[in-house]
Structure 1
Amino acid sequence: MACTHQEVVFDVNTVGWAPFGPRTALSMRNEDPARLPATAVGHGQKPSGGYVLAAGRDQEEDGLCQAISPGALKPRVTYRVAGWISVAAEEGSQGHRVRVSIRVDDGRRVVDGGAVCAEAGRWTEIKGAFRLSESPSNAAVYVQGAPAGVDVKVMDLRIFATDRKARFSQLKDKTDKVRKRDVVLSFGGASGAFVRVVQLDNGFPLGTCINSTVIQDPAFVDFFTNHFDWAVFENELKWYWTEARRGQLNYADADRLLDFCDLAGKPVRGHCIFWAVDGDVQQWIKDIGHDRDQLMSVVQEHLQSLLGRYTGRFPHYDVNNEMLHGRFYRDRLGDNVAALMFREAARIDPGVLLFVNDYNVECGNDPNATPEKYIELIRELQQGGAQVGGIGLQGHVTNPVGEVICDALDKLSTTDLPIWITELDVCEPDEALRADDLEVVLREAYAHPAVQGVMLWGFMQGQMWRQDAFLVNSDGTVNDAGQRFIELRREWTSDARGHIDGDGQFKFRGFEGTYVVQVTTATGKMLKTFTVDKGDAPLVLGMDV
């Protein structure tokens, strides 16, 4: 998403900044060219080397600020915040959280512009995004955070409007290369006969979460059955649901949902075996958390109970959910317990793909969940013998920016592991903008070769964790976001027709998936199914007429 000069609404290096805080002092510096960062994602320019240093900060809120030109920010436009942040050298420091915010209408509203974990001796790119619903009377940019006494450095901070149309044009070309393949159907004769090729399903699954309540709603079931390929249980497989009280197992709800999906012919992801965040661990486990041996015993029992019961039923499991944001089991049983969970799960159910799963990794605005930290976690698990089979990105996003998502996917793809968007929802009250935002994420995912599937975290009004993210209204009518989803599915489904040429062949370029071909000759019609797999070379298939 390269931006033109006209799209830039805020672009500074060392000029125009004012100190924020009673004792904050600003000075202008120049970085050693050898230490300059690489060009930023979608930034469109090289770093200047000039930066402003904010010293003498008495409080975390102290920093620097600058007004944005009146009228520069427009409503309903998604803006990128880009630039580089660093902090002054500090012995033993592991980095500090520095955030950018936009204060509008004399500070009555504060909009998040992104955050980074800034480190001494290196520059970290900020990748924020925001959107305003109304034109502000005035606006200003603030850079704050890091503990009192830590000097903050800011280089080339910019705000610019994104260009969805330009990005989507790039992604359509990329999608054609990544998801489609030339196909030659060789009939060995029947020149001139009419051919119709219809894709039955796509090799890239799109799914959604379900629960015990929504499967009783005919409108939900109808949309789910017609527009989704996979399912995942919202809560019914989580430990706090299957064993809310110690020793009292409840698998009946999960069994009913599995039966429902079996009848519908939908594979199901297993979410999740454990949850690493303290607030999502049931009280009886917390009560025994001080007893290491007893906690390890119930961890082993749960692994055997869950995976032993459902061996072969779930193609995927999220093993220990949200380890970038929680350490409940690792803090009590040691860091090695995370790899042990993977090893034991693989032993009990050898055919399953075992995933890490976390949120905010694709947004670029959470210092706790960068792609680099996710990769580090995966490497540590692998070194402990964990058979990590896939990377889950939850995708609970707001105001998504395409090149930032792509950057995260590019970095994670260096692990050579498949990536799934596991819990996608895009929250926006304006349904037209929600449709645009949903399209951003879906196109980025579909165009990236490392991504192998997308799961929505619900789609119906009143039946979702996040408000203003639904695709289908409570009465079953489809809104703008839902219609956009249907249109994308249609765009990613091949349909070809024509006649067998003089060489006895019919050629087309199609998406990966299963197909049926119908050939109409003077003597009748012939139907035959075939599969288009991933590949660069043309797929040549012999067809008997």
Structure 2
Amino acid sequence: MGSCRLSIQTEAPHMLPSILKDRASQKHISGHYILATNRTDVWMGPSQVITDKLRLHVTYRVSAWVRVGSGGHGRHHVNVCLAVDKNQWVNGGQVDADGDQWYEIKGAFKLEKQPSKVTAYVQGPPAGVDIRVMDFQIYAVDRKARFEYLKEKTDKVRKRDVVLKFQGSNAVNLLGSSLRIQQTENSFPFGSCIARHNIENEDLAEFFVKNFNWAVFENELKWYHTEAEQGRLNYKDSDELLEFCEKHKIQVRGHCLFWEVEDAVQPWVQSLQGHHLMAAIQNRLQSLLSRYKGRFRHHDVNNEMLHGSFYEDRLGRDIRAYMFREAHKLDPSAVLFVNDYNVEDGCDTKSTPEKLVEQVVDLQDRGAPVGGIGVQGHISHPVGEIICDSLDKLAILGLPIWITELDVTAENEHIRADDLEVFLREAFAHPAVGGIILWGFWEMFMFREHAHLVDADGTINEAGRRYLALKQEWLTRMNGSVDHQGEFKFRGYHGSYTVEVNTPSGKVARSFVVDKDSPVQVIALNV
């Protein structure tokens, strides 16, 4: 805490804690807070040594309410930071706060190696700015209880009541006949990114085709790949990847038309100004979208607009909406997405759910036909309630949310599997989530280390087995018999099915599809 002074104060906040309200031990804000004054450096504030209270490989939730006190004007960055030994700083959550109201910090962390000392700090504002901290808590996540809740939620969101009505000449003789229902495919989109060189690996390609029904290209559609030098277009890799996906009936997201982060913009584009840059943007849109019109289901229009401003800085604020408007004109069947990272975990003040909502509303006000929200999902220690809270805030827009680049890192494959399950269950159970795309699955071909599901030699590791087990869990299988009305009623996941009925004249198999349009679906089957 340094030389700052701490005192206990009392206040009755007007906001209830969204992230703590579902925790039995904390149903309301206490009203007591710590006031830190006389701060002479950014790191000064309330702190506590918590070494003996932590266990390795356990995900801990961080929750605190903060408010800037006297000495500060406008918003200031406030964060929970853990000093681990002498050389490691761990982000436990952060927020931009002012003196007008209380703001909730929510984050998470996990220790992979035994530390000699861990100290938790609340810090961030400049020297001279007071900090108020209320109900600062760090506690282990109860995943077991959360999973039971999510299973019930998933049943409501991803299943439907179905009535199979058997018709035909044999129907009158079916009373009591046994039947077996087998779901062959869940229609929910589960996908992965792939690269052109991936499909040369037969084992990798086989795993991809067998276990995913959507794809996104890692780099092959990005502008710096298709036009590394001005005027020299190269769509060979994207053509071949798209043909591969179409051959295997895998639907594809387009990623990405533009990238707003300057480091991801190729040098020749960075050198352009004014109408020359505008002409290049128009050529890019016309070239790609006319070539692939109707073949990509989605397009990420301008990637990571919360973290970059290359085009906006040079061409004005409306350029982003212009990209959406023009893309829609050229390929009206494609759903156009925003796409950004660190939206779901409370660790980045640049990309909070609230800021992404503000961005989408601004784009819509400018006539941009935003059709979906891309939440990338590069995460290391997911906490279900934090993810759900972020998705809830985004869902207010009424647009489908897709997890577009999910990878979960942990050196230990069993911990990686546990963490991956947290994210997958949370996303699959949320009614606003329309699909989940992994950012790779095969070791040596990953964006982040220790995120793979399959080892380099083709062995499916524990994270991969967990992914496959969840996909099996989310398939409906059951045995039963035809009732006196010639019907069989069940509740099942959306997707494709077969039913095998033992009729007096032998077994009869039929196929049907359970969609998600209405509460009860009646399906007539001729036997």
Q: TM-score, normalised by structure 2?
A: 0.95
C-alpha change, 1:74 and 1:91, in structure 2 (3 Å) is closer
Give the alignment partner of residue 451 of structure 1, picking from 412, 417, 433.
433
**Following superposition of structure 1 onto structure 2, how do residues 76-155 of structure 1 map, counting pairs within 5 Å?**
76-88=57-69, 93=74, 95-105=75-85, 107-155=86-134
Query: Take 2:31 and 2:165, find their aligned partners in 1: how far apart are those partners?
Result: 60
Matched-pair contact (CA < 8 Å) for 1:89–1:121: no
Matched residue of 1:543: which SS?
strand
> Aligned ranges for residues 287-302 of structure 1 at < 5 Å?
287-288=271-272, 291-302=273-284
Q: Which runs of 4+ in 1 moved over 6 A?
A: none
C-alpha separation between the residues in 1 aligned to 2:284 and 2:517? 41
Question: Deviations 1:499-520 (Å, cap 9, x if unpaired)?
Answer: 2122211122110112222223
What displacement does 1:388 show?
Answer: 0.6
Q: Which residue pairs with 1:346 in the alignment?
A: 328
Matches within 5 A, 1:60-459: 60-68=42-50, 71-88=52-69, 93=74, 95-105=75-85, 107-188=86-167, 189=171, 190-288=174-272, 291-459=273-441
Query: Given residue 241 of structure 1, which amino acid in structure 2 is its aligned partner?
Result: H
* 1:59 Cα offset (Å): 2.5
CA distance in 2, matches of 1:60, 1:91: 13
Q: Separation in 2 of the partners of 1:82 and 1:511?
A: 35
Deviation per CA, 1:181-237, whole angstroms, max 9, x where unpaired?
111111143223332222222121100000011111112111101111110000000
Contact 1:88/1:121 (8 A) holds in 2: no
Q: In structure 1, what is the Cα distance between the partners aligned to 2:218 and 2:236?
A: 15
Q: What is the deviation of 1:155? A: 1.0
CA-based RMSD of the aligned residues comes to: 1.5
Q: Distance in 2 between matches of 1:121 and 1:67?
A: 30
Q: For 1:458 and 1:128, how far apart are their aligned partners in 2?
A: 25
Q: Distance in 2 between matches of 1:467 and 1:347?
A: 39
In the TM superposition, what is the alpha-carbon distance from 1:332 to its structure 2 partner? 0.8
Please report how far the alpha carbon of residue 525 of structure 1 lies from its aligned counterpart in structure 2 after TM superposition: 3.4
CA distance in 2, matches of 1:400, 1:113: 12
Q: Alignment partner of 1:240: what SS?
A: helix
Q: 1:528 aligns with which of 500, 510, 523?
A: 510
58-67 or 227-236: bigger deviation: 58-67
Q: Which residue of 2 aligns with 1:15?
A: none
Gaps of 5+ in 2: none
User: How many angstroms apart in 2 are the aligned matches of 1:523 and 1:80?
Assistant: 61
Contact 1:185 1:542 in 2 (8 A): yes
AA at the equivalent of 1:531: V
Kindly indicate whether the alpha-carbon contact (under 8 Å) linking 2:82 and 2:92 is maintained by their aligned counterparts in 1: yes
Other-structure match for 1:27: 7
Would the aligned equivalents of 2:71 and 2:130 in 1 still touch at CA under 8 Å?
no
Residue identity matched to 1:509 = R
Distance 2:406 2:92 in 1: 21
1:38 equivalent in alignment to 2:50: no
Following superposition, the deviation at residue 50 of structure 1 comes to: 1.6
1:417 shift after superposition: 0.2
User: Contact 1:180–1:509 at 8 Å: present in 2 too?
Assistant: yes
Paired residues, number = 518
User: In 1, are the aligned partners of 2:72 and 2:99 still within 8 Å (CA)?
Assistant: no
Output the CA distance in 2 between the equivalents of 1:392 and 1:139: 35
Does the C-alpha gap of structure 1 residues 529 and 48 become closer, same or farther in structure 2, counting only changes over 3 Å? same
Question: Alpha-carbon deviation of 1:128?
Answer: 1.2
Alpha-carbon distance in structure 2 between the residues aligned to 1:318 and 1:387 = 12
- More deviation in 445-454 or 194-203? 194-203
Using the TM superposition, name which of 183-192 and 505-514 deviates more: 183-192
| Aligned: 1:515 with 2:493 | no
CA apart distance, 1:406: 0.3
Question: Matched residues in 1 for 2:518 and 2:152: separation?
Answer: 15
Distance 2:89 2:338 in 1: 33
Contact 1:36 1:49 (8 Å CA) reproduced: no
- Report if aligned partners of 1:171, 1:444 keep a CA contact under 8 Å in 2: yes
How far is 1:535 from its partner? 4.7
Measure, in 1, the Cα distance between the counterparts of 2:9 and 2:399: 42
Deviation at 1:136, TM superposition (A): 3.4
Counterpart residue type for residue 77 of structure 2 = R
Counterpart-to-counterpart distance in 1, 2:46 and 2:524: 69
For 2:444 and 2:92, locate their aligned partners in 1 and report how far apart those are by CA, in whole Å: 29
User: Any conservation in 2 of the 1:40–1:83 contact (CA below 8 Å)?
Assistant: no
Q: Percent identity?
A: 52
- Gaps spanning 5+ residues in structure 1: where? 1-18
| Local SS of the residue matching 2:442 | coil
Query: Does the residue aligned with 1:375 lie in a helix, a strand or coil?
Result: helix
Q: How far apart, in 1, do the equivalents of 2:298 and 2:101 lie?
A: 38
Distance 2:365 2:71 in 1: 31
- How many angstroms apart in 2 are the aligned matches of 1:84 and 1:395? 25
Q: Is the 8 Å Cα contact of residues 5 and 36 (structure 2) preserved in structure 1?
A: yes
Q: Report the residue type matching 2:371 in the other structure.
A: G
Amino acid of the residue matched to residue 199 of structure 1?
A: Q
